Amino acid sequence: MHHCDEPQLLPVADAIARMQAAVSPVTETQTLPLEQLLDRVNAEPLRAGFNVPGYDNSAMDGYAFDADNNLDTLTLVGQSLAGHPFYGTIKPGECVRITTGATIPNGANTVIMQENTRAVGNQVQLLSTPKANANIRRAGEDMTLGQTIFTAGHRFGPVDIALLASLGLAQVNVKRRLKVAVLSTGDELTPPGQPLADGHIYDSNRYGIIAMLKRLNAEVIDIGLVADQPDLIRAALTRAATEADAIVSSGGVSVGDADYVKDILAEMGQVDFWKVAIKPGKPFAFGAIGATTFFGLPGNPVSAIVTLHQLALPVLQVMSGAQPEPPLQLTVKALEGYRKRPGRCDFQRARVYSAGEKNRITSTGAQGSGVLTSFVGANAYAMLEAERGSVAADETITALVFDRFLQ
């Protein structure tokens, strides 16, 4: 067991595993055309209905012939163009003019690129000697009949959609979008664009959270700003639990006098845990109101982003029916030292870059839980394990490269 600042702190990996085990993916599906598939989650295994390519074809412009005859001059007897095959059979000593993607004629086993030939009339001289089977794309080289191309839970990206089109699929069965309600709590919060009163700050958390959830392609229900009043919080959570599969709230889960969210969650539903061995973001609450999963993020802006990214999103991906996407991890050398004491896994904002044959990482500056500018210029976390203490310059550490949710 990791040493923690407090014995009740749940290690990050344990918290994620516990949450993922507690939730279920959406079951409802819908059939969508290719144009609407970007970032949608595949509902069932998809298999190739035929070989791709469906026939042997040329990888370049040139001449198709039988290389086994070892001839250096061939007689041109026709052409095979993309979409317009040569239907005869090539005899020894003959060749066919062929273009990229065109069907390999019967009797041919090789394509020589046109740059390596000299044509005079119907005679084609070979200026080099290609090996048999050169420059031919074989049928089924990309996909074979019956091959599973996408498993259930795959999130469709742009190239995936092109691949589906190459299989002739015009529509695909996908999971419905996950519905996530988002709210911010706090008397000190003011909507952007409004005058800022003394002692107030602008609500930044909700906008960052919503943007990250849109990268998940969730259907976001914006509950808005909620004052630190139990009745208002109760009403907001009631609405959210009625309309959404999950709730993401920021603020109100610590131990302050006006931190009502955790207590109201316990009153209306259940609190599974509310302290995680993570920095920033220790006061992170997880629970449920009826069938609706609840994620309570800290109020500090950096803490809210880090806990949503590192703790909530791996669970929301499972709920959406998607296969969680593991982050790219790099082993890097620290350019400067990092101050830390054992107890919590620390996600410091940093920038990874290549220095010769080595990867290096440098801090983006002040790392306070309210310093949003620490993300500006960052492309990775310097992840310092819970049991680890301070890091000296040139020590090896792990970098977690930012994924699509933060880029």
> Rounded to 5 degrees, what are φ and ψ at 212?
-65, -40
**Which CATH number, 3.40.1740.10, 3.40.50.450, 3.40.980.10, 3.60.10.10, labels domain 12-27+177-319?**
3.40.980.10
Q: What is the pLDDT of residues 395-405, one digit of tens each?
A: 999 999 999 99
* Architecture category of domain 57-137 in CATH: Beta Complex (2.170)
Distance CA 39, CA 246 (A): 19
In the chain, the amino acid numbered 354 is S
Q: How confident is the model at residue 257 (pLDDT cuts 50, 70, 90)?
A: low
Per-residue pLDDT at 2 exceeds 50: no
Question: Both tokens of residue 206?
Answer: 């909700």
**Token representation of residue 208:** 């960052």
In the predicted structure, residue 168 carries a pLDDT above the cut 80: yes
Q: Which two tokens stand for residue 76?
A: 């041109």
Judge whether 362 and 341 are in contact, CB under 8 Å: no
Radius of gyration (C-alpha) of the chain in whole angstroms: 30
Q: Give the residue-averaged pLDDT of 109-128.
A: 97
Residues of each domain in the chain carrying CATH 3.40.980.10: 12-27+177-319
Mean confidence (pLDDT) of the chain: 94
pLDDT value of residue 355: 84
Grade residue 309 by pLDDT with cuts at 50, 70 and 90.
very high
pLDDT (average), residues 147-167: 97
Dmax over CA atoms of the chain, in Å, equals 94
* C-beta separation of 105 from 88 below 8 A: yes
pLDDT value of residue 4: 43
Domain with CATH 2.170.190.11 in the chain: 57-137
Containing 113, the helix (H) or strand (E) segment is strand 110-113
**pLDDT reading at 6 higher than 60:** no
pLDDT band at 258 (very low <50, low <70, confident <90, very high): low
CATH of domain 29-50+150-175: 3.90.105.10
The C-alpha atoms of residue 11 and residue 278 are separated, in whole angstroms, by 7
Burial 304-337 (b: 16+ CB within 10 A, else e): bbbbbbbbbbbbbbbbbbbeeeebeeeebebbee
pLDDT of residue 256: 59
pLDDT in tens, 67-104: 998 899 999 999 999 999 999 999 999 999 999 999 99
Q: Please list the residue range(s) of the chain that carry CATH number 3.90.105.10.
A: 29-50+150-175
Helix axes 261-268, 230-243, angle to 10 degrees: 50
Q: Give the tens place of pLDDT for each residue, 231-245.
A: 999 999 999 999 999
Q: Which CATH number fits domain 329-401: 2.130.10.10, 2.40.50.140, 3.30.70.980, 2.40.340.10?
A: 2.40.340.10
